A and B are shown apart, each in its own frame.
Chain A
Amino acid sequence: MAEPDRQLEVVEGKTLAVISEGLYLLNLLFPLLPLLALTWLWLHHRGSATGLLFNHLRQAFIGAVIATILFTAANLLIIILGGYRSLHALIIFELYYIICVPLLLIPGLLGLIKAMAGQSYRFPLIGRLDV
């Protein structure tokens, strides 16, 4: 019976890896709630996850934290510089969107594709950070 259990574990690991990368991508569009879900997944599986799941969960969690920090910083900057109806709000939104979003989006996209293929992946630069 050991072999079917192992297969089930691999399938579950792959599914959760795909969900992790999906939550990371969703967090770029609608920040916070997906990050909370990712945090729960990370805390829940940190000790037990191995291989593929550990790789993708860890990458997605680090990425989502950084993306949320950048998003929060952009919003704080808007508030400090005069609020959402100020001249700066549009500029900061557009700059955040053309610089941060594509840079965070493409690794997430590649991560999702790798997770679906059952392969591991490390985000460039931020993938080496430890949590």
Chain B
Amino acid sequence: MQYKSQAVAKPYFIAAIALFVAQVLFGLIMGLQYVVGDFLFPEIPFNVARMVHTNALIVWLLMAFMGASYYLVPEEAETELYSPGLATLMFWVFLVAAALTVAGYLLLSYSTLADVTMNKLLPTMGREFLEQPTITKIGIVIVALAFLFNIGMTILRGRKTVINLVLLMGLTGLAVFFLFAFYNPDNLVLDKYFWWWVVHLWVEGVWELILGAILAFVLVKTTGVDREVIEKWLYVIIAMTLITGIIGTGHHYYWIGAPEYWQWWGSIFSAMEPIPFFMMTVFAFNIVNKRRRDHPNKPAMLWALGTAVMAFLGAGVWGFLHTLSPVNYYTHGSQITAAHGHMAFYGAYVMINITIISYAMPLLRGRNAANPLKSQVWEMWSFWLMTIAMVFITLFLTGAGILQAYLQRMGENPQPFMVVQEQISLFYWLREIAGVIFLIGLVVYIASFFVGQNDPEAATES
């Protein structure tokens, strides 16, 4: 660790992993509720499990992005963090807000939660992924502003590199687009139209910039390839991300009441959205091929390459699968969407966060470069367990989605939703089994932080 203030990243990473565990557990509960409808009812109804599953994902990814930024920005800017105290304070504010929100979801009915948190004063609740009480959303804005101030001031007084500027651009976009969560018009079309400005422009826009910057940072550090080479790639990748991602928002406008021209704009531009992910894959492998040293932290390299491949498959290939409007007419909101969502989030954002955690944690824990060999072997096992499990989750959900579209929306006698759900239950069972394997992988990942800690560090780089 080159700068003392980078240490503030550690609690962010630990809390992120804890929330990741919660997310997966609630995912498993919900997965079981698909086939055993009254499992844990009324204690944890399906809608609550779903809310915790998706909200925990968003919060832990944000927390890990913040941890990643607090770690990499001082190193890139070659100066201490502007205010480590503010970063630590914001960590606790964010954690307590997240914990209270989850407790609210689990202990109160959603309408009571809305009353208790005075949603009526500024109604923002009740929308998918943005279910958080208004007061939590205000807390997120405060944390995001303080975070941006801290990171921005650090960059301003230090070295400006392409990596930290792209990261800052992504983080600023993240904060700005979240403000649309407060716009909640009565007109449902308008509501959905701007709701996507948070959801789509985050994951298929500014988050990709954050992903690109973190990936580039880890590759600079682990491969020793010239920064200039990596930066040129980064420029092209972010340009393609923004060119395709912004108008690609149109693929969400097909059926919400927006003008018909979005069928064309959305189809064409979102069909190009795999391009930046494709370039990211070529970029990562190319840089690793050109490496000037063999870094002893093997799992970090594995996660970095895994991110590039899985993001391309999940976000790019599985996205294209249902993005053209004539196809989407049948597949919209089916399990094909869930398949894409799972692999894309895992491949792009879960894996990039684990990549930076994998790279930074040994250093944050006082090692020179890497964990002991035994710990690395456990971590690489966790990579394969989680990644293969996610591939199978995606395949089973895709199978379920194809059958669902076929039975429910095509043919002379389309069947009702719940009748079809019964018929695709085999896929749900298989998905649940794959989910359990994923959980085992996650347990192995956490165990990798504790095994072999008294062993000597893996051989230093050559």
Contacts and interface: CB of A to CB of B under 8 A. Distances in A.
Interface stretch (A33-41, A64-72, A95-103): A95-103
Contact of B327 (A87, A90, A117): A90
B307 to A, nearest CB: 14
B289 A94 contact: no
B265 interface: no
A106 B378 CA distance: 26
A38 B281 CA distance: 23
B313 A102 contact: yes
Interface in B287-306: 289-290
Majority SS of interface residues in chain A? helix
Interface residues of A, number: 20
B395 A113 contact: no
A87 B398 contact: no
Nearest to A119: B289
A54 B312 CA distance: 28
A113 B289 contact: yes
A112 B317 contact: no
A91 B282 contact: no
Contacts of B286: 113, 116-117
Interface in B254-298: 278, 281-282, 285-286, 289-290
Contacts of B285: 109-110, 113
Given A87-B410, A90-B330, A112 B321 contact: no
A93 B327 contact: yes
B395 A98 contact: yes
Given A87-B410, A112-B282, A94 B313 contact: no
Contacts of A109: 278, 281-282, 285, 312
Interface string B380-415: 000000000000000100100010011000110000
Contacts of B398: 94, 98
Nearest to B318: A98
Interface of B: 278, 281-282, 285-286, 289-290, 309, 312-313, 317, 320-321, 327, 330-331, 336, 395, 398, 402, 405-406, 410-411
Interface of A: 87, 90-91, 93-95, 97-98, 101-102, 105-106, 109-110, 112-114, 116-117, 119
12 contacts: A87-B410, A87-B411, A90-B410, A91-B406, A94-B402, A95-B402, A98-B395, A105-B317, A109-B312, A110-B285, A113-B285, A117-B290
